[in-house]
Structure formats: C-alpha cells, structure tokens
C-alpha cells in the first residue's frame, strides 16, 4: 500500500478533487465530562496546543540538539486553508505554541520563525521552524521532542493520538490504509484509518501526532473524520479505491503518514522541495512567501 506513494503523489498534483478538516466544535467540552484516563494514561511531553488545533514538538533521526526545533501539525491548522494543488514554502511566521509536559501541564510558549512547509494536497501537514533550539527548550522547560519515524507504519499497529488542545489521548490501531481520501476540494493519499472504538477524534484534535503505542515515535498526524455520514463534503471525507469506487461511513476518522518528510531533508536537516526524490507535494507548484 505504500510502495507507489511517490507515483500517487504525482497524480494528486493534477487532481483538483477534495480534502480536510476537523474545525473546532461549536461547543466547549469541560474536563469534568472526560474520564481522568483520557489524560492520566498518556505522556504529554512534547505535545503542543495551538489556538485552533493540536500539534507536537518533533525532531528527525539525524537532528542535532543545537538545531532549531520543529512543530508538526496539519496544513489546515495554519492561518487559513491552503488552496488545492499548492503548498506554502518558507513563509515567515511568528506563531506561538503552548508546550506541555508529561502531565499535560502548560510549561510556556515557543515561537515560530518560519512556516517551512504546509499543504492540503496529497497530505494535510504543516511544519513550523522555531526560534528556539532543542537545547534551549530543554533548558527552559525540561521538555524533549518526539521523533518522526523514517519508515512507514504497519497495518494493525497499535497507536496513540494525543491532543494538546483538549489535553486528552486516544488509543486504537491502524485499521486500513486508504488509497485516496476526498474531502470537499482536497484529496489525500495513503491515509491512515483508525479502528473503533478508541480513536473517535473530534474538532480540536487536528494536528495531534499519531504515535506508536507506548513510545515517543511519530508515524502520522491526525487530521479528519466523517462527522455526519455525508459523501465527500467538508468534515465528511470519503474513501476512493484504486478502481474509483467510493465509500463513506459516519464515524470513520483518519490521519496522514509522515515518513515521506525524510525524502525532502537535505544535509542541513532542512526541508528542500527541490531535492531529487522529494515526495512531498508539490515539488513544482509550491509558493514561496505569503499565499493567502
């Protein structure tokens, strides 16, 4: 299912179909309504809360402690949705993120210097580069980053999804990999579908990392789910197989794989969309600087 991901991404660049969401819910969920296990059973070190979403402080396998740190979230969690077929690349940013410790306590804010990459085509992913290095964050907050796994996750693998916005976690497994996921005007490739019960994610959990259960290893980023049982509309993604057959089920939730970021890392441990073999969309249609 992951063998032809680069080819699938190439096709996605020319498709103007659909994709995305999990906006904030219209209600406010009280922590009183949540069993304590939703927070107490999870390690929140390195999880972050955004104003509208969740995210995580992440590093790559080859990252140095002196490197400026990264924040991973969804493309639709940045300051405005990214238009289909486009990616934002190297856009200055001063956004802040609330950093949590292992007990989900807010330790303070870290600040972006750049929105290095964001797209909602082929995947739903954003990476912010911070002003602070990993060493500086560790010294100030005693918080360490999560590590993005360079390999693809496996079918039936047990996972955890940890939301900084709600300070709660979810546990389930990878039920399937979806060839194409459509939502409104956007399309995603090789998406992760979660098993149920366990990972019925809600608005505000967008951008939360998908971790191998019991580890600090990131294999994906949570991004959407079918809320009303509708077909291929906003907040109601549908699945499309290799033969074009469409299915949609109310309550199915999804995330996007993150391992292909490694195909775009250069020797300076930065994202280079022009790197030979880079699989992140879109290599030839990116926009450098302000987009929206």
5 occurs within a structural domain: no
Q: State the pTM of this model.
A: 0.88
Q: Does a structural domain hold residue 289?
A: no
The phi, psi pair for 12, rounded to 5°, reads -60, -30
Structurally, the chain folds into a number of domains equal to: 1
What sign has the CA pseudo-torsion 264, 141, 73, 222?
A: positive
CB 224 within 8 A of CB 202: no
Q: Which residues of 237-260 are buried (b: 16+ CB within 10 A; e: fewer)?
A: bbbbeeeeeeebeeebbbbbbbbb
State residue 11's pLDDT score: 36
Q: What is the predicted pLDDT for the residue at 4?
A: 33
pLDDT score of 282: 62
So what's the pLDDT on residue 20? Answer: 44
Q: Which range of residues forms the domain containing residue 131?
A: 15-282
In a domain, 51, yes or no: yes
Whether 7 maps to a domain, the answer reads: no
Measured CA to CA, the distance from residue 204 to residue 191 in angstroms comes to: 19
Q: Is 24 a domain residue?
A: yes
Regions in the chain scoring below 50 on pLDDT:
1-32, 283-286, 289-292
- 49-79 per-residue burial string, b: 16 or more CB within 10 A, e: under 16: bbebbbbbbbbbeebeeebbbbbbbbbbbbe
- Residue 214 DSSP code: T
At residue 9, the pLDDT reads 40
The reported pLDDT for the residue numbered 66 is: 98
Identify the sign of the CA torsion 102, 104, 105, 111: positive
Residue 200 within any structural domain of the chain: yes
């Amino acid at each position: 299912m992951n063998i032809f991901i680069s080819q699938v991404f190439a096709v996605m660049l020319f498709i103007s179909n659909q994709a995305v969401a999990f906006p904030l819910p219209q209600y406010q969920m009280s922590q009183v309504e949540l069993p304590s296990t939703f927070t107490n059973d999870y390690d929140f070190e390195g999880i972050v809360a955004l104003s509208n979403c969740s995210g995580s402080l992440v590093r790559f396998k080859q990252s140095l402690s002196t490197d400026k740190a990264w924040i991973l979230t969804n493309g639709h969690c940045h300051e405005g949705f990214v238009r289909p077929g486009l990616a934002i690349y190297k856009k200055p940013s001063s956004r802040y993120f609330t950093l949590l410790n292992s007990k989900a306590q807010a330790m303070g804010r870290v600040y972006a210097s750049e929105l290095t990459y964001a797209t909602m085509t082929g995947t739903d992913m954003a990476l912010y580069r911070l002003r602070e290095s990993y060493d500086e964050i560790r010294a100030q907050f005693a918080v360490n980053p999560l590590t993005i796994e360079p390999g693809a996750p496996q079918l039936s693998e047990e996972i955890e999804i940890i939301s900084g916005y709600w300070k709660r976690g979810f546990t389930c497994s990878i039920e399937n990999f979806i060839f194409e996921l459509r939502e409104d005007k956007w399309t995603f490739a090789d998406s992760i579908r979660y098993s149920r019960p366990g990972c019925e994610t809600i608005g505000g959990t967008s951008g939360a990392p998908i971790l191998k259960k019991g580890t600090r290893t990131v294999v994906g980023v949570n991004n959407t789910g079918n809320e009303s049982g509708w077909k291929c509309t906003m907040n109601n993604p549908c699945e499309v197989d290799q033969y074009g057959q469409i299915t949609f089920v109310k309550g199915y939730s999804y995330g996007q794989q993150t391992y292909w970021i490694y195909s775009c890392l250069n020797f300076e441990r930065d994202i280079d969309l022009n790197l030979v073999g880079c699989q992140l969309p879109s290599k030839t249609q990116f926009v450098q600087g302000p987009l929206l």
